[in-house]
Amino acid sequence: MGIRTHHVHMAPPGHKLWEGISFRDYLRRHPGEAARYATLKRDLAARYAHDRERYTQAKTQFVREVMAKAE
């Protein structure tokens, strides 16, 4: 397949994919929150190094809180 240089997602308006964009944009506008998320992710990665599902579950509350602020 060669060297990948781009990764593109496409979705119609209102698709769940846009929630991730809103989350990203909120963190870009709020560096303190982005730093908190980075710390959380590092801690969870160490704690759940071999359990991707638990890692994802453990960060869900933070993501929900940010999404509520982003709306």
- How far is the C-alpha of 64 from the C-alpha of 15, rounded, in Å? 17
Burial pattern 39-66, b for ≥16 Cβ within 10 A else e, equals eeeeebeeebeeeeeebeebbeeeeeeb
- What's this model's pTM, rounded to 2 decimal places? 0.77
Q: Would you kindly state where each structural domain of the chain is located, as residue ranges?
A: 17-70
pLDDT tens digits, residue range 13-47?
989 888 888 999 999 999 999 999 999 999 999 99
Q: Classify residue 36 by burial, with Cβ atoms within 10 Å: 0-12, 13-18, 19+.
A: middle
pLDDT of residue 65: 96
Please name the amino acid found at residue 2. G
Q: What share of the chain is helix, strand, coil (3-state, %, to 5)?
A: 70, 0, 30
